[in-house]
Homo-oligomer: A and B are copies of this chain.
Amino acid sequence: MVLLGSKTGSVSVVMKVSQQQGRLRIGVVGGGQLARMLGESASALGLRLSVLAQRGDDAAVEVAAEFAIGSPQDGRDLTLFAGGVDVMTFDHELVDLDAVSSLSTDGHHIYPSAAALRFAVHKVYQRSAMVAANIPVPRHCILAPYSDDDFDAFADLLGHVPVVKADHGGYDGRGVLVSSSLDEARDFARALSASTTVLLEEAVELESEVAVIVVTDRHGNQVTYPVVDTRQESGMCVEVNFPSALSPARSAEALAVARRVAEIVGAVGVLAVELFVTPSGILLNEVAARPHNSGHWTIEGSVTSQFENHLRAVSGLPLGSTDALAARASMVNLVGSDSPTDLAGALAIPGLHLHDYGKSWAVGRKLGHVCVIGDDESVRVRAWKGAEFLGTGAARSL
């Protein structure tokens, strides 16, 4: 056994095993559940997963072949990490984009690129670029610099209280305020403006929310997973259902928008495209250039999961089939709550698949998800029953 411990800068690298010959080393920036699930696929593909985690108990550390502790927002840490892997990819996009860009210029294989990540990181940039490319987006206004007068003028224009979004730094509902109080929204926007550009948007008339996972390989070949319905509460994904209840026409429209968005973003790997369905058509909500909660159902529900396809894409391998294995699939997130949990009760539910992210418990934290696939509507009932046995806060909202 070879055990290496080195500490350079703020990155400490522990190599678990002796060097493997000729095995592609995939470095994932971020050690959350997405990296953990990438690890499950990497193992089957024979890829060595290396993780740049922030803490030793991050979800992916225990399944990674190697890990390093460091900051994804520190260029030196990213540089050290990139130097030890063959391909670098991401569990999240809250990274030092300039450093990522420089590393690519220096010849490191990094997918998606900094240019692609920018669409996910900077909402203002995303909105502006999408408008320029004729992608339908909600009506919005960029307050740079911020002023209360501009805020009020835009609210007047809309005729309702705008949704307030931070340009960057928000996820799972953080950095976003949807309020019916003009004063609350204005106060939130003003406070945000101290640290980031403020984006105001119309509160769209939502029929539903859907998502499309597009995967692009290194040669630009694109595959898409079917459109799914997503349900959010307080900005956090609660459940995902396949197939979407959209009409065939709306579904085709959603796929077409997602494909065009993916071409504009140009991300190698998974691009998750979240869309608003409104009476007047499909509008782009957000993009994420990484495996995404709306695609977790593909682990059981698809011939090739989003995680395997992401790894195939960034490794320069051909993409796998995105065909569904059953007529229906339901995924429900497990969110920490004070309710008791009954693991045996949950696993006794026919066809229930558990994905426990191995995280320490905290109220409101995404701790895992359950998924059921099948041919009838009971898949959703079973998934929710599983979530209920597992005592999640989200489960109680069905």
How far does the Cβ of A108 sit from chain B's closest Cβ, in whole Å?
A: 21
Instruction: Report chain B residues within 8 Å CB of A57.
Output: 17-18, 20
Q: A20-B360, A318-B344 are in contact. List 17 more A-B contacts (CB 8 A).
A: A1-B56, A1-B69, A16-B61, A16-B62, A17-B56, A17-B62, A21-B360, A23-B358, A39-B43, A39-B63, A43-B62, A43-B358, A44-B356, A45-B356, A46-B358, A303-B351, A317-B343
Are A14 and B3 interface neighbours, CB within 8 A? yes
Contact residue among B44, B69, B317 (Cβ-Cβ distance under 8 Å from A40): B44
Interface digits, A54-98 against B, CB 8 Å rule (1 contact, 0 not)?
A: 011100011101010100000000000000000000000000000
Q: Is the interface of A mostly helix, strand, loop or mixed?
A: loop
Are B358 and A18 interface neighbours, CB within 8 A? no
How far does the Cβ of A40 sit from chain B's closest Cβ, in whole Å?
A: 5
* CB closest chain-B residue, reference A36: B43
9 nearest interchain CB pairs?
A46-B356, A1-B56, A62-B65, A318-B348, A43-B63, A17-B56, A44-B355, A40-B40, A17-B61
Q: Is A327 an interface residue (CB 8 A)?
A: no
Contact residue among B17, B67, B325, B344 (Cβ-Cβ distance under 8 Å from A325): B325
Instruction: Report chain B residues within 8 Å CB of A320.
Output: 347, 351-352
Interface digits, A323-366 against B, CB 8 Å rule (1 contact, 0 not)?
A: 00110000000000000000110011011111111101000000
Task: Enumerate A119-165 residues with CB–CB distance to B below 8 Å.
Answer: none
Are A48 and B62 interface neighbours, CB within 8 A? yes
Q: A63-B63, A65-B62, A344-B318 known; A354 and B5 CB under 8 Å?
A: no
